[in-house]
Every structure is written in C-alpha cells, then in structure tokens.
Amino acid sequence: MNRLDGKVALVTGAGRRNGLGEAICIRLAEAGARIVVTDIGQPEGHLSSGNIGSAGEMAAVADGIRSAGGEAVVAPMDVRDETQVIGAIERAVSAYGQLDILVNNAGIGFLMKPLVEMTADQWRTVLDVNLTGAFLCTKHAAARMIRQGHGGRIINIASQAAKSGHRHMAAYTASKHGMVGLTRSSAMEFGPHGITVNAVCPNHVTTSLGAVQNEYFARLNGQTVEEYLVAMRARIPLQRVGLPADTAGAVAFLCSDEAAYITGEAMNVSGGVEMH
C-alpha cells in the first residue's frame, strides 16, 4: 500500500455512513493519514434533511476510524459558508499542525427534474454545494498548503456526470463538469507550489445519494429499482456498479507519491462505462 504516514487529510461531506466520504476517510487512515471528518453536521431545511448527514453520523465515522487504530477529529462545516470552511481548516491545523490533503467530496444529487421545471433556486442550491463549496474549500486549503511550503494534494470527487450529459440532472451535471474546470485551472495555478489537483469521476454507487437516483430513474422508466439496476449493470463493461472502495482506492493513489507527476486529470472510476 502507498503510505501517507504523517499526512493530514480533510474530507468534506464525509459524515454519512456508507457514503464515498466515509470510505475515503477509512482508506486514507489505513494508509497512515490523520483525518479531519467534515460534514454539514445537522439537518438543514432547504437542503432536504433526509439527504444530508447528521452530527451523530459524522461522529460515528470518526469513531470507526479511531477504533480501527487510526486518528480522526470531526469538524462540522457547511461547504457553502466561507467562515465555516476557514474554521474547519483551522481545526485541522490546531489538531494536527498542518494540512496536506483536501478531498472535495460534499455533494447533493437529489434534485432531479426536467430542466424546464427546475427553479433558479434549485439550480443555485446544487451549484452552491457541489461547485462553489469545492471552490471555497480549495481556496482556503491551497492557501494553507502554499504557506506551509511542502506541496499538497487536492482531489475533487466529480462524477460520470462530469463527462457526459444526463437527463433531469442539468444542474448536477453542470456542477460536475464545472468541477473538472476547477480541477484543471487550480492544477495550473498550484503546480509551481508542488500541489497536485485531480478529479475522480465515479459512475453509479448505491450510497444514500445513489439510492435516491435509482428510485427516481426507475420510476421514470416504469421499472422496479432492481430492473433498473440490472439494465445498468449490463451497460457497464465490468458488469457491476461502483463501490465506495473503488473511489477510495483511486483517491488514495492520487494522494500518494506514486501519483506525484499527475495533475489536472479527471480519472474515470466507472468500470469502463465512461472512457473519455
């Protein structure tokens, strides 16, 4: 395993059991990194409280890392709130003295509807969390890494929706395409500081976010969720949907010394269903 001993990693949107963020935290902790688990932390009305992690779940993710022998602290943070973003980075530095890795994982994908029915408010909500949130975290984490002067890693969890269009998901798809633009531009700016910036683009993973999408599209197609998933698996060259561990493994690789010369990439982790 590529080791990350001594590194400090802050992962956003990681306070959800069985989410990609939890798997990323566990994988980086197994490699020796000290983890700052962040999430919005409490229900918030207009984001739909059923689709965001609670403070209890976030604490459980950190407890799981510690009981497996790793190091973790919790820092509640809404990625849309710049003051909270600064506060979470300060928490990382006060707990562990530095910040080496940022994983922009927080995202919402539950606002699915035909584009002509989407309100400007719903559009902005998705863009605010998925894209502006990643910008704010990148801005403050990179500033810290530049001050530290020993490089760093920024990984953006984009999506298959960063590469291809998806019906009824215009805002989500635009936000994820935007994340690739953010990845490439920040890779240009931060390269001279030894900071690499890459995106990981998973296909479908049945997390809480993924399950909501399954239900919506199965209903749209007049299928059961199982019928929908059977058809999806048939389209994937490796014949299965993604697992949180698939994304976590790619993140760990991009954080490692093995990936030191890779930056500005948007890596598909999609079982071959997305190839460009």
Ligand X SMILES: NC(=O)c1ccc[n+]([C@@H]2O[C@H](COP(=O)([O-])OP(=O)(O)OC[C@H]3O[C@@H](n4cnc5c(N)ncnc54)[C@H](O)[C@@H]3O)[C@@H](O)[C@H]2O)c1
Q: What residues make contact with ligand X under the rule CB under 6 A? A: 12-13, 15-16, 19-21, 39-40, 47, 52-53, 78-80, 105-109, 129, 133, 157, 159, 202, 204-205, 207-210
Kindly state the helix (H) or strand (E) to which residue 102 belongs, with its residue range: strand 101-104
Measured from the CB atom, the residue of 81 and 194 that comes closer to ligand X is 81
| Amino acid at site 253 | F
Could you tell me the smallest distance in angstroms from the CB atom of residue 97 to ligand X? 24
Please calculate the CA angle 194-196-198 and round it to the nearest 5 degrees.
175
Could you tell me the smallest distance in angstroms from the CB atom of residue 7 to ligand X? 21
- The first and second tokens of residue 75, run together, are 């820092």
Measured from the CB atom, the residue of 102 and 129 that comes closer to ligand X is 129
Could you tell me the smallest distance in angstroms from the CB atom of residue 126 to ligand X? 10
Out of 7, 96, 163, 176, pick the active-site residue: 176
3-state SS record for 16-44: CCCCHHHHHHHHHHHCCCEEEEEECCCCC
> Which class for 223: exposed (0-12), middle (13-18), buried (19 or more C-beta within 10 A)?
middle
Our answer to whether residue 113 is catalytic in this structure is: no
Measured from the CB atom, the residue of 191 and 221 that comes closer to ligand X is 221
Q: State which residue has the least CB distance to ligand X.
A: 107
Burial 11-30 (b: 16+ CB within 10 A, else e): bbbbbbebbbbbbbbbbbbb
Could you tell me the smallest distance in angstroms from the CB atom of residue 23 to ligand X? 8
Out of 172, 216, 228, 261, pick the active-site residue: 172
Measured from the CB atom, the residue of 19 and 152 that comes closer to ligand X is 19
Catalytic residues: 172, 176
